[in-house]
A and B are shown apart, each in its own frame.
Chain A
Amino acid sequence: EAQVTQNPRYLITVTGKKLTVTCSQNMNHEYMSWYRQDPGLGLRQIYYSMNVEVTDKGDVPEGYKVSRKEKRNFPLILESPSPNQTSLYFCASRHGGVESPLHFGNGTRLTVT
C-alpha cells in the first residue's frame, strides 16, 4: 500500500531533550516536506526537500533540522525542543511539480513541557 509513515504518533518530552520524528514513503517520490499544524494557523511549512541531499527552508524553520540521505526517508530533528514547538506535525511527499497531489502521513502530536 502506497503510504507516508510517521513515527511516533504521539510524543511527550521535556524542554531541551533532543528528539527525532521519522518519516518514510514507499512511493519513490522526489519531493518531501514537513509541516506543523496549529489551531487557527493552518499548515505551515518547516522544511522541504526536492531530492536526495537537497533541502530548503520553509516558512518556519527555526529550531528544526532535517536531512535527506535516502530518497524514502526525511527525518525531522529538534535539537533542543521548546514549549512553543508543541504542535501537530505532518510529513508529506509527492511526485512531480506543485500541481501534483501531496500525500500526507497521519501526523505526530508533539508536546514539549
Chain B
Amino acid sequence: TQLLEQSPQFLSIQEGENLTVYCNSSSVFSSLQWYRQEPGEGPVLLVTVVTGGEVKKLKRLTFQFGDARKDSSLHITAAQPGDTGLYLCAGAPGAGGTSYGKLTFGQGTILTVHP
C-alpha cells in the first residue's frame, strides 16, 4: 500500500490567519485530489491535480502538486469559520496514465477556525 502522510493532524487557528496543510509520500502518484468533509456527511471533492508542479486556485484555497508528483499542499488564505472541517488528500498510485482502481487517502487534517 502506498502511503500518504498528512500534516498537521490538527490545526486550530483564529479567523483571518493563513494555513498550509501538507500531503507527502515516498511514492509517485498519477493524480492527487483534495476533499473536505463535514460532520455527518461524506467527503466532497475540492480539486484534482494531475501535472507535476501544477497550481490550482479555488477562491481563498491554493492547491499545489509537487514537481515529482510525490507531494501536495493546500494553502488557505484568511481562513474563515466556514472553512472548519476535515481535509483529506487522496492519490492514485502510478507514474502516469489513467488508473481506474485504487485511491489512497491520507489520515486527514482537522481544521478548526475560531471566530
Binding site for B on A (CB under 8 A): 4, 31, 33, 35, 40-45, 48, 50, 56, 58-59, 90, 92, 97-102, 104-107
Contacts and interface: CB of A to CB of B under 8 A. Distances in A.
6 contacts: A33-B103, A42-B6, A48-B102, A58-B102, A98-B100, A107-B42
B31 A92 contact: no
B99 A41 contact: no
Given A42-B88, A44-B105, A104 B99 contact: no
A50 B101 contact: yes
Interface of B: 1, 4, 6, 9, 30-31, 33, 35, 40-45, 48, 50, 88, 90, 92, 98-108
A102 B103 contact: yes
Contacts of B30: 98
Given A98-B98, A101-B45, A45 B103 contact: yes
A106 B42 contact: yes
Contact of A40 (B9, B43, B90, B99): B9
Given A41-B107, A99-B92, A106 B40 contact: yes
A42 B43 contact: no
A42 B44 contact: no
A93 to B, nearest CB: 11
Contacts of A58: 102
A40 B101 contact: no
A31 B92 CA distance: 14
